[in-house]
A and B are shown apart, each in its own frame.
Chain A
Amino acid sequence: MAAAQTGDRVAYETLLRDCVSFIVSVARRQGVPSDRTDDVVQEVLLTVHRARATYDPRRSFNVWLGVIVERRAIDMLRQIHRRGAREVHSPLAYESHADEAVDLSAGIEHKEKVDRIGAALAELPRRQREAVHHLMLDEKSLADAAELTGRSKGSLKVNLHRALNALRLKMDRGD
C-alpha cells in the first residue's frame, strides 16, 4: 500500500487482487449472505481507493483494511435489513397481478370486427376479392398484382374501388 501511495500501479493492482479473498472472508464472518459479498467487495475496493491517503504506512495494512471491511459489511447488513422490512419478494404475486389499465372487452370487439370483415370479404365476387387481397392485405404494388393475376392495372383498380365500396356498405349496415 505504501508503494501504491507513491503511484505504483502494478503494486496497487496486485494488492487489490490479493485483498479480494480477505474481504470475502471478513464479510462472511460478519454475516453477509454469499450473494451480497461481491457488493461488499466492490464497496471496500472503492473505499480503499478513495481513502488511500488516510493509510499510515507505519501501521498494519490488514488492520486498516479489516476495519473498513467490517464497516462496509455492517452497512450492507443494514441495507438488507431495511429492504427486507419494506419490500416483499413474491414473483408469483407480481405475475398474477391484474393490470387495471387493460380493457378486457377490447379484445373481443376486435375479434368480432375481424370476423365481420372476413365474412364480408368472402361474399365479394372473386375478382374484387383478389384485388383487395393483393393490393390491400398483401400490400403489393399495382404492377406486381397485375403480373400475379394476369389482369390489367386498370381492371385491378376498378375492382378494388368496387370492392371497397361494397365492403363499406356492408359494414355500415352492420352485416
Chain B
Amino acid sequence: MDGSNDHLISALAADLQPVRPLPPPALRTLFWLILVAAVAAALATFADVAGMWHRMTAVPDMWLAGLGSIATMATAAFAAFEVSLPDRSRAWALLPLPTVALWVGASGLGCMRAFVLPDTHIAAIGETRDCLLFIIGLSVPLSVALIVMLRRAYSLAPPLTAAMVGLASAAAAATLLNFFHPFDASATDLAVHAVAVVIVVAAARALGSRMLENSLAGRVTIPPAGSN
C-alpha cells in the first residue's frame, strides 16, 4: 500500500467519533412536513379558513393547483433528502417535475378563466407585491430548517440538493399563501408566483449549497506526514 494512503487511514481512524446513522429520507421528510403543518396551523388562526375552503372547492383548477403545490413541497423535500446521500441517484431530482407540472398547469387554467369570466377579482399590483414578499419571506425560515436537517448528510451535489430545498420551501410558502389569497390567479399574479419561486430556488441554490459545503469542510484534521 502507498505510504500516503497508510498515513491517511491512520489519521482517519484516529479521528473516528461514533455517529448515529441518519433516519431514512421518508421519515426525515415527514419531520419537515410536520414543521410546515405546524406553521400552517399557526397561520390558520389568523386566516379566513372557511372562505379559503369555499374558494378552493368552487372550481377544480383551484384545488388541483393547491394539490400540485402540496405534492411539490413533499416530493421536492423528499428529493432533497435523497440527493443529500452520496450513494443515491441524482435522478431523484426529477421526482418533483410531474407535481410541478400539475401545479403550474392548474394555476394556468385559473388564469385562463380570468379572461373568460369578466367579473373575476384580478389582483392589483400592491396585492401581487404582497404575494411575492410572503412567498420569499416564508421560504427563508423553511429553507433554513431543511438545510439544518441536511447538515449531517453529505451531498456530492450540493447545488442540486440546495435547489430542491428551495423548491420545497417555495412550494410550501405558495401553499400557505392560499390562506391569505382572496382572489383568483391572473396572468400577472401567476407570473409573480413563478418569479418568487424562481428567486427562492436560485437563492437557495447559491447560498444553500455554500452552507451545505461549509458544513462538510474542516471536519477532519490530517496531521502532516511523518508527524507520527
Residue ranges of A at the interface with B (Cβ–Cβ < 8 Å): 4-7, 9-10, 12-13, 16-17, 20, 38, 41-42, 45-47, 49-57, 63-64, 67-68, 71
Point out residues on B near A: beta carbons under 8 Å. Answer: 1-2, 4-5, 8-10, 12-22, 24, 84-88, 152-154, 156, 216, 219-220
Contact A20 B19 (CB under 8 A): no
Q: Give A4 to B87 CA distance when docked, in angstroms.
A: 18
Q: Contact: A20 with B1, CB < 8 Å?
A: yes
- Shortest distance between the CB of A47 and any CB in chain B (Å): 6
* Consensus secondary structure, chain A interface: helix
> Is the CB–CB distance between A64 and B87 below 8 Å?
yes
Q: How many CB-defined contacts (below 8 Å) exist between A and B?
A: 89
Complex contact B153–A9 (CB within 8 A): no
Name, among A51, A52, A64, A68, the residue most crowded by chain B CB atoms within 10 Å (CB to CB). A51
In the complex, A41 Cα to B87 Cα: how many Å?
A: 17
**Given A13-B10, A20-B5, A38-B4, also A51-B86 (CB < 8 A):** yes
Contact pick for B19, options A5, A17, A47, A63, CB 8 Å: A5
In the bound complex, do residue A42 and residue B87 qualify as a contact, i.e. CB atoms below 8 Å apart? Answer: no
Q: Chain A residue with minimal CB distance to B24?
A: A56
Contact B2 A5 (CB under 8 A): no
**A to B CB contacts below 8 Å, 14 in the list:** A5-B20, A6-B18, A7-B18, A13-B13, A38-B4, A41-B2, A46-B12, A49-B12, A50-B216, A52-B19, A53-B20, A53-B21, A54-B84, A54-B154
Chain A residues contacting B5 (CB-CB under 8 Å) are 20, 38, 41-42, 45
Cα–Cα distance between A41 and B7 once the two chains are bound (Å): 13
A36 to B138, CA, bound (A): 47
Q: How far is the CA of A67 from the CA of B156 in the complex (A)?
A: 11
Known contacts being A38-B5, A45-B5, A71-B156, is A56 close to B21, with CB within 8 Å?
Answer: yes
Contact, CB under 8 Å: A38 / B19: no
* Cβ B87 vs Cβ A50 within 8 A: no
Contact A12:B13 (CB < 8 A) given known A5-B21, A42-B4, A45-B5: yes
A141 to B88, CA, bound (A): 79
The smallest beta-carbon distance between A122 and chain B, in angstroms, is: 55
CB-based contact B21/A50 at 8 Å: no
Check if A16 sits within 8 Å of B86, measured CB to CB.
Answer: no
Contact of B15 with A49 in the complex, beta carbons under 8 Å: yes
* Residues A45 and B8 in contact, CB atoms below 8 Å apart: yes
Q: Are B87's CB and A16's CB within 8 A? A: no
CB-based contact A53/B9 at 8 Å: no
A17 to B13, CA, bound (A): 11
Which chain A residues lie closer than 8 Å to B15 at the CB level? 49
Besides A50-B216, A67-B87, 14 more A-B contacts (Cβ < 8 Å) are A9-B13, A9-B16, A12-B12, A17-B1, A20-B1, A45-B9, A46-B220, A47-B154, A50-B154, A51-B154, A54-B84, A56-B21, A56-B22, A67-B88
